[in-house]
Structure formats: C-alpha cells, structure tokens
Amino acid sequence: MIGLRVAGTGSFLPERVVTNEDLSRTLDTSDEWIRTRTGIVSRHLLDPDTPPATMGIAAAREAMGRAGLPPDAVELLIVATNVPEELIPGSAPFIAAGLGLHHEPPFFDIKAGCAGFVFAMAVAGAMMASGIARNALIVGIEALSRFVDWGDRKTCVLFGDGAGAVALTAAGEERGILGVSLHGDADKLGLLRIPAGGVRLPASAETVASRKHFLQMKGRGVYQSAVTMMERATLEAAERAGISLADIDWLLPHQANLRIIEALVRRLGFPRDRVLVNIDRVANTSTASIPILLDEAVRAGTIGDGDIVALTAFGAGACYGTVILRW
Ligand SMILES: CC(C)(COP(=O)(O)OP(=O)(O)OC[C@H]1O[C@@H](n2cnc3c(N)ncnc32)[C@H](O)[C@@H]1OP(=O)(O)O)[C@@H](O)C(=O)NCCC(=O)NCCS
C-alpha cells in the first residue's frame, strides 16, 4: 500500500472536432466502418501551429488548481508521452516552463507506449513512498495527429489528441495505490512503431520519402495481445492488492478500441456498467487516454471517496500494466 491521494485531476481536448463523416470526405472509409470496428465517432485534433505542450500545461494547471497545489509546491513532474515536444529535451521541461516551476523540481518523460500514464503512476507512487517527493504531478499528453499518415485509413482514423493530468499528495494508509502490475513483452516490439527519426534511423530524404516517420501498426496483432495483456495485469494487480475483482468499483481501460474493452470485460466477467468509456468522443489519445477519462469521471461525480479504481493499459513496446487505487 502506497499512501497517497489524487488531490486534483485536469484534462484538455483541442477545440477542433473531426467526425468520421469528416474523414470519409478525404479518405476511403465510412462512419459505419469506423464506428462498428472501433466505437469511435469523433476525435479532437490539435491545430498544426499549436505547440502540443500547451495541452499538457492546461491539463496540469487544472489539476493543480483543484488540488490547491501552487507551482512552487510541486516536488516532482512526470510526463508520459510517446512523441515528445522535441527529441531532446523531451516534453517535461516545456511543461515545467509553462507551469512556472522555477524552483527546479525534478522532471522527466516516461515512454511506455499507451501504458505510459499507468507506468508513471507506479513510478510516482514509488518515489513518493521512498520519500523523494511528498507530492507529484503526472501529465499524459499526446499529439499523435502529427505522426499518423492521414492517407493511411488503417491507422489515422483511430487516434485523437489531448492531455490529462493528476496531482498526487502524500496521505495516510487509508487511501492510495493498493496494487500494481507492470509488464513488457519485447517480442511484440514490432506491433507499433515509428521507425525513423530516432538514432537507429535518423531523418533523411529517404526516410521522409518512404514515409517512415509515420506510425506503423499491425492492428490485428495489437488487438489480439491487448485483451490478454490487460486481463493478466488486472488479475495480478488485484491479487497483489489482496482484493477480488468484485471489490473494484470502476475499471478505466485504455481507450483504444471499444471491442477490445468489451472483450476484456467479458473475459474478466466484470460488470459493464462499472467500466468507464469515452472513446466515442475522444478516440485513442494514447498516454492521455486514462487521465482524460479519470478527469471526466471525477468531474461528473462518478468516482467518489473510498472507491476502488483500476487503471489498465497496453501499448507499444509492448508495455502493459494495471494500477489499482483506493480513492
Ligand atoms: C485497427 C482495427 C480496428 C482494424 O480492424 P480489423 O478488423 O483488424 O481490420 P483489418 O486491419 O483486418 O482490415 C480489414 C479490412 O478493412 C479495411 N480497413 C482498414 N481500415 C479501414 C477504414 N478506416 N475504413 C474502411 N476500411 C478499412 C482494410 O483495408 C481491410 O480491407 P481488405 O481486407 O480489403 O484489405 C483493429 O485491428 C484494432 O482495433 N486493432 C487494435 C489497434 C489499437 O488498439 N491500436 C492502438 C494500440 S495503443
């Protein structure tokens, strides 16, 4: 048990909404195909001229405001993202600068595919438990619209942009992280990747011409692994927490595909009405998916004091995991 409190949540979705109908005007796809295969109806996309960090800054400000955490009290900032603001120095320094964290707290990025936010929760919890920080800010932020090939119907329809944040503060043993299960399956690293732009294959005229800077995905392979990964991690985290699945009040799965979520719920035998979903409106926002969902549920009053909440995700790597919290 790691004693901590989610003292505040926040989220930001770009103003521009793009529906399946909008996409079908320029792409060989249809609302019917996207809706029935994925559950997605629309997504928010960031304007090309807006720096993505602004989304994370907005979400973090909201979380800090609700937590009553002023900038100079932040002792740790972790940013979960797959496509950082710049390769060097990543995203965290840009968000720290935007938040005015002038007292030089530690900040860094975590890259763990779409499971990045769940990994960041576990890392922040462990750092808080070890006394490195008494409070922490975690931001999940993604602007994958900049890295999907808008001519590739197999990938581009799936993703949206956004950011979510939580402010954590130290608390007694009555609430906090009850159980964690994190995993990585490197045999599956080929399922989701952006092959060029890193040190293995730096940008060149050839990599641009061959479209290697765009996200490549083996959709069927991801689909098949996702369900068993989240199932394994959730069962393990519950066991480590010493609870049964029936004790979990709310399950917040990564919003990648409604059919994946429904298959997971069936396999776990978990009640569907206790599973939170917003994929229809936001699509897959990668590391931002769970904190956005969490913020919406907190603001709607769905999640209440003492509730047991399970966050589960999978993604590139393949990284996957579940964190179970008592709210
Ligand atoms: C992407 C996904 C929805 C595709 O569904 P699928 O049933 O596996 O579909 P397939 O990729 O086998 O494609 C089936 C057909 O639909 C077509 N198709 C793919 N995308 C399409 C689209 N947007 N519109 C219309 N047709 C489309 C394909 O071209 C293919 O046609 P073909 O048989 O003539 O070649 C599904 O595999 C999935 O959700 N995977 C997981 C993705 C994910 O979670 N990614 C993020 C991880 S964090």
Each residue of 38-74: pLDDT tens digit? 999 999 999 999 999 999 999 999 999 999 999 999 9
Radius of gyration of the chain (CA): 19
**What is the whole-number distance in angstroms between the Cα of residue 206 and the centre of ligand 1?**
27
Question: What's the confidence (pLDDT) of residue 242?
Answer: 97
Does the reported pTM lie above 0.95?
Answer: yes
**What is the whole-number distance in angstroms between the Cα of residue 228 and the centre of ligand 1?**
19
What superfamily does domain 2-174 belong to in CATH? Thiolase/Chalcone synthase (3.40.47.10)
Which residues surround ligand 1 with Cβ inside 6 Å? 29, 33-34, 37-38, 114, 153-154, 157-158, 192, 217, 219-220, 222-223, 226, 256-257, 284, 315
Question: What's the confidence (pLDDT) of residue 171?
Answer: 92
Amino acid at 176: G
Backbone angles phi, psi at 113, to 5 degrees: 55, -155
Amino acid at 226: A
CA gap 68, 313 in Å, rounded: 29
CB-CB contact of 74 with 132 (8 Å): no
CA geometry: angle at 45 spanning 42 and 50, to 5°? 165
pLDDT in tens, 78-96: 999 999 999 999 999 999 9
Residues 6+ apart with CB under 8 A from 277: 39, 255, 258, 261, 293
Atom 46 of ligand 1, residue of closest alpha carbon:
256
Catalytic residue among 135, 254, 257, 319: 254
Known catalytic residue at 156: no
Q: Which residues pair with 163 in a beta bridge?
A: 12, 141
Question: What's the confidence (pLDDT) of residue 308?
Answer: 98
Do the first three CATH levels of 2-174 and 177-326 match, i.e. the same topology? Answer: yes
CB-CB contact of 256 with 226 (8 Å): yes
For the domain spanning 177-326, the CATH number is: 3.40.47.10
- Structural domain spans, the chain: 2-174, 177-326
Question: What's the confidence (pLDDT) of residue 146?
Answer: 97
Residues of the chain under the 50 pLDDT cut = none
Choice from 220, 259, 319 to test ligand 1 binding pocket (greatest atom count within 8 A of CB): 220
Spatial CA neighbour of 52 closest among 120, 142, 117, 126: 142
The ligand 1 atom nearest the CA atom of 156 = 23
b/e code 60-69 from CB counts within 10 Å (16+ = b): bbbbbebbeb
**What is the whole-number distance in angstroms between the Cα of residue 34 and the centre of ligand 1?**
9
> Residue for token digits 């919890």?
125
Atom 35 of ligand 1, residue of closest alpha carbon:
154
* Residue 205: count of CB within 10 angstroms of its CB: 7
